[in-house]
Structure 1
Amino acid sequence: MTGPSPLLQSLPEAHRTRLLTLARSRSFPAGCRLFDEGGDADRFWLIRQGEIALDLHVPGHPAPVIETLGPGQQLGWSWIFPPYRWHLGARTLDSVETWEFGAIEVRELCVAEPGFGYELMKCCAAVIADRLQATRIRLLDLYAPHPGGAG
């Protein structure tokens, strides 16, 4: 991992330790489809090594890559909100090492320990805001009219 996860850095030490008790080490080969837009969002990952492309389903077109995530970044926030469906798709660009967290376990911990839940949700909200901004910028880049285009 090139640097600690912002999520882990942001959590107070006791909460970070508590969250990591739920982590499972997972490896994925290059080209592995992790999830598709609309699928069950039942987990999330902290990327330790490798890169993952987030893409968006566009009917009749290849799925454009919206953002590329790498070491230290969190993959997945759709597990937080019902109906727990992925808002984008994801695939590995190379060999990837992660810590994987089961959504049900983490949500139950958030309910059982409100202080933990509040801190975790603040961290996840920052990820959501960043991801939405990146998506907006990428979609503008892909679909906005460009000056000097054919006309």
Structure 2
Amino acid sequence: MTKAIKLLTALPPPQRERLMELARETSFAEDTRIFEAGGTADCFWVIRSGAVTLDQQVSPLQRITVASLGAGDLLGWSWLFPPYRWDFGAEAFSPVRAYEFEAAAVLRLCDEDTALGLTLVRYVAEILAHRLEMTRGQLMERHALARRSLY
């Protein structure tokens, strides 16, 4: 399995500095819903401390956790791809401190500095690939457990 990509440490220092000029410090109390699936994805966060769970609503009364994120992790990638709607929901599992980035400002910066834009998209793609790999592993484990319980 590949190692998780931490966006801010992965960016070269000059590009990280340009991106961080757009950052705003924010925090979320434990159990705060940060966003809901289907909502407008107009920002993203890099978690500084705490934990966030990504979840999927499977029934009106039940959500399942699909991933847990912590310090250094990117929270939110739907701002980068049309139709700019969250694919999952997110909730603060503990008190969270994060850097918040307004998507429109970051996209303008990427248009102005195409090298930064390419680097940012490349790292977000690596993050998505890693998360997909992790999810695939979880599905394989669940499938194996389900098969064993049948016999």
User: What letter matches 1:123 in structure 2?
Assistant: Y
Q: 2: distance between equivalents of 1:38 and 1:113?
A: 30
After superposing the two structures, state which structure 1 stretch, 10-19 or 53-62, moved more.
53-62
- The TM-score normalised by the length of structure 1 is 0.88
Shift of 1:140: 4.8
1:8 positional shift: 1.3
Q: Which residue of 2 is the match for residue 54 of structure 1?
A: 54
More strand by share: 2
1:3-42 CA deviation, whole Å, 9 max, x = no partner? Answer: xx82112111110000000000001000000011111111
1:64 corresponds to 2:64 = yes
Q: RMSD between aligned alpha carbons? A: 2.0
Q: Secondary structure at the match of 1:41?
A: coil
Correspondence for 2:123: 123
Could you tell which deviates more after superposition, 15-24 or 35-44?
35-44
Once the 2 structures are TM-superposed, how far is the Cα of residue 147 of structure 1 from its aligned partner?
3.1
| CA apart distance, 1:92 | 0.4
- Partners of 1:92 and 1:135 lie apart in 2 by 20
Identity %: 40
Q: 1:110 to 1:102 in 2, by over 3 A?
A: same
Q: Tell me whether 1:37 sits opposite 2:50 in the alignment.
A: no
The Cα of 1:145 is off from its aligned counterpart by 6.4
Matched, 1:7 2:46: no
Cα distance change on mapping 1:148 and 1:13 into 2, 3 Å: closer
In structure 1, what residue type is equivalent to 2:15? Answer: H
Specify the code of the residue in structure 2 equivalent to 1:14. Answer: P
Deviates more, 1:66-75 or 1:133-142: 133-142
Which 5+ residue runs of structure 1 have no aligned equivalent? none
CA contact (8 A) 1:66 1:139 kept: no
Quick check: 128-137 or 74-83, which moved more?
Answer: 128-137
With normalisation by structure 2, the TM-score equals 0.88
Residues 117 and 148 of structure 1: CA distance in aligned 2, closer, same or farther (over 3 Å): closer
- Structure 1 residue runs of 4+, over 6 Å off? none
Residues 1:81 and 2:81 are matched in the alignment:
yes
In structure 2, the residue corresponding to 1:72 is in which secondary structure?
Answer: coil
Evaluate the alpha carbon distance shift between residue 59 and residue 139 of structure 1 in structure 2; reply closer, same or farther with a 3 A threshold: farther
Q: The residue matched to 1:147 in structure 2 has which SS?
A: helix
Distance in 2 between residues matched to 1:61 and 1:145, nearest whole Å? 25
